[in-house]
Amino acid sequence: MNCNHVQRLLCDFVDGELAGNQMLAVRRHLNDCPACSAERDEIVAVKSTVANLFVPECPQGLESRLMAAIANESTSYMPRRSYRPVWAVCAAAAACLAFLAVANRPEQKTLQATGVVPYEIARDQAYSGGGDSLSGHYPIMPVSHGSR
């Protein structure tokens, strides 16, 4: 392991994030390399200063202010189930609208097919392909994407 490689791993090493083999290799290198060892000491110094940063005591009355904030939030809190009728009403209204839209759909022009329709095809999915010269019937043809 060379110095570049070790220095890339130093933060992980200091934070105890290296796996066993890597950790031992870095430790061996640090024993022999004063430059990398000094680097490690600097990271440790910064880390311990951050860890020991001064923090003032909690402000007086913080606990009661937090309790009051939660009490306030609690009164405005709506349990989930109270939303359910709203959703149910919305869903029912949407279903009614969809039904009315389908029921009141303007009647489409019925195809004038004189022959026997072999299977049922939705009206908007088919068109009359014109008279068949052999049978004299008007066969119902499915609409392809190209002809739409």
Partner 1 sequence: MLAILTRERTIPVEERRALFESLMQRSYRQAFSLAYRLTNNAAEAEDLVQETFVRAFRFFHRYDETLPFTNWLYRIMSNAHIDMVRRRGRLKMTSLEQPSANGLATVEVPDADSSPDRDFLDNSMGEHVQNALSTMTPEFRTAVLLADVEGMAYEEIAEVMNTSVGTVRSRIHRGRKQLRKHLVKSAPDVYGGMNNEL
- Residues near partner 1 (CB under 8 A): 7, 11-12, 15, 17, 38-39, 42-43, 46-56, 58-59, 62-63, 65-67, 69-70, 73-74, 77, 79-81
Please state the closest distance from residue 19 (CB atom) to partner 1, in A.
Answer: 13
Q: What is the DSSP letter of 59?
A: P
The pair of three-digit structure tokens given for residue 59, joined into one six-digit string = 């402000």
Alpha carbon 129 to chain centroid distance?
48
Please state the closest distance from residue 29 (CB atom) to partner 1, in A.
Answer: 16
Please state the closest distance from residue 43 (CB atom) to partner 1, in A.
Answer: 6
Pick the closer one to partner 1 by CB: 81 or 109: 81
Alpha carbon 135 to chain centroid distance?
59
Q: Is 139 exposed, middle or buried (CB count within 10 Å of its CB: 0-12, 13-18, 19+)?
A: middle
Please state the closest distance from residue 7 (CB atom) to partner 1, in A.
Answer: 7
Pick the closer one to partner 1 by CB: 78 or 101: 78
Please state the closest distance from residue 77 (CB atom) to partner 1, in A.
Answer: 7
Pick the closer one to partner 1 by CB: 34 or 106: 34
Pick the closer one to partner 1 by CB: 44 or 117: 44
Residues contacting residue 1 through CB under 8 Å, at least 6 positions apart: 25, 26, 28, 29
Nearest alpha-carbon partner for 43 in 3, 77, 14, 17:
14
> In angstroms, what CA-CA distances link 3 with 23, 32, 36, 85?
14, 11, 7, 67
